[in-house]
Amino acid sequence: MAGLMYKGLFKQEETAAMRIGSMFHLILLEADKYVDKYIVSDFEKPKSPQMESFLDEVIKLKINGLSIDSSADKIYELYSLSYKRPISKKDSATNEAYDAIKSNMAYINAKVEALSQKKEIVPEIEHNMVCRMVESVFSNRAAKSLLESRDSKFIEQPLLFKSAQGIQCKAKPDLFIVNEESEEITLVDIKTCKENVLGGFVSEFYKRKYYRQLAFYNEAIKMNGYDSYDIYHKIIVVNKEENIYDSAVYNINAHDIQRGKQEAYDLLTQITYSIINDCWDFPVNYYTGNGAYDMPSKFEKQNYV
């Protein structure tokens, strides 16, 4: 997958969790752009990917000015293709298709309106969710202080820099607060989670290696005009589970950032090897060694009697 991503041949499908995260970041940090990007509507999402695919094709017909009522053959064809199987009983399948259109008309109309305005459609329930998440963040005094600091800077475009290995990199931290007088920067990252923010997120922080991501941001800031500055890291995290929406702010330990820098350096070194030799199918030590891997030991540092 890394090779496909490097060559621009892999695009990750957006999940529902990713969409909620993107919406939350945008409304929290750039509320005006949120309004420009999304249109909120009260509708139920189609119950399956196949149904959504079928309805999206129906929407294209409607946008192109074709009458849905007088396009029975086309509706049948689209219904069959969306479910990727021939439907033997044409009349009953066509009736099913029209029933689906009728029961999802709110979705169809909302999406037609969104497309006509060149916006993305957002279910009202998801919009309300991210609004509650924003309210939770601003009710947290530590988070509110960071977001409302007069020295805070929002990064609109990714920061470009070259790694020690010469790889062109880019990073987009959420927010940083600059104290020119003391030459200090507070780098703020914003996360959403499904776990309890006061317990579960700590294990998620290490499981997902967020410390490595922060270390990467650290290097991007340093190499974009702030090399002499001391950088401190904080994370604002909010729970996105319905009816919870609690939030917290964490100060990140400098040792974790150092660990992240080392891991990022090691990964970039491996990527450099793969780029030079165009070998992406296995870890680097498969190619540089005898093809066997060393089992990491959890007992290596134990003293035995």
pLDDT tens sequence across 152-180: 887 778 999 999 999 999 999 999 899 99
Q: What percent of the chain has pLDDT over 70?
A: 92
- CATH numeric code, 140-277: 3.90.320.10
What pLDDT, on a 0 to 100 scale, did the predictor assign at position 171? 94
**Residue 297 pLDDT > 80:** no
- Tell me if 188 sits within 8 A of 175, measured CB to CB: yes
Q: Return the pLDDT at 64.
A: 83
Query: Do 192 and 237 form a contact (C-beta atoms < 8 A)?
Result: yes
Cα dist from 214 to 147, 176, 180, whole Å: 18, 12, 21
Work out the end-to-end distance of the chain between its first and last CA atoms, rounded to an integer number of angstroms: 46
Is the pLDDT at 4 greater than 60? The verdict is no
Whether residue 88 is predicted with pLDDT greater than 70 in this model: the reply is: no
> Does 76 have pLDDT greater than 70?
yes
Q: Please check the confidence at residue 302 and state whether its pLDDT lies above 70.
A: no
| pLDDT at site 211 | 96
pLDDT band at 63 (very low <50, low <70, confident <90, very high): confident
Q: Which amino acid is at 215?
A: A
How far apart CA 128 and CA 119 sit, in angstroms, is 18
Instruction: Report the share of the chain in percent with pLDDT over 90.
Output: 48
pLDDT digits (tens, 9 = 90+) for 197-254: 888 899 999 999 999 999 999 999 999 999 999 999 999 999 987 677 899 999 999 9
Q: Average pLDDT of 5-16?
A: 68
Of 4-8, 15-19, 95-99, where does mean pLDDT reach its minimum?
4-8
What are the residue boundaries of the structural domains of the chain, listed by start? 15-126, 140-277
Separation between Cα atoms, residue 59 and residue 109, nearest integer Å: 8
DSSP sequence for the chain = -HHHHHTT---PPPPHHHHHHHHHHHHHH-HHHHHHHEEEE--PPPSSHHHHHHHHHHHHHHHTT--STT-HHHHHHHHHHHTTS--S-HHHHHHHHHHHHHHTHHHHHHHHHHHHTT-EEEEHHHHHHHHHHHHHHHHSHHHHHHHT-TTEEE--SPEEEE-TT--EEEE--SEEEEETTTTEEEEEEEEEESS-TTTHHHHHHHHTTHHHHHHHHHHHHHTTT-TTSEEEEEEEEEE-STTT--EEEEEPPHHHHHHHHHHHHHHHHHHHHHHHHT--SS-HHHHHSSS--PPPPSSTT----
The answer to whether 96 and 83 are in contact (CB under 8 A) is no
pLDDT at 77: 87
- pLDDT of 283 strictly over 70: yes
Q: 232: buried, middle or exposed (CB in 10 Å: 19+, 13-18, 0-12)?
A: middle
pLDDT of 227 reads 94
Question: Residue 304 — pLDDT band, cuts 50, 70, 90?
Answer: low
Q: What is the pLDDT of residue 81?
A: 85
Residue-wise pLDDT tens digits, 120-129: 888 888 999 9
The answer to pTM > 0.85 is no
pLDDT at residue number 13: 75
Output the CA–CA distances (angstroms, integers) from residue 195 to 15, 125, 128, 191, 204, in the order listed. Answer: 18, 20, 20, 11, 8
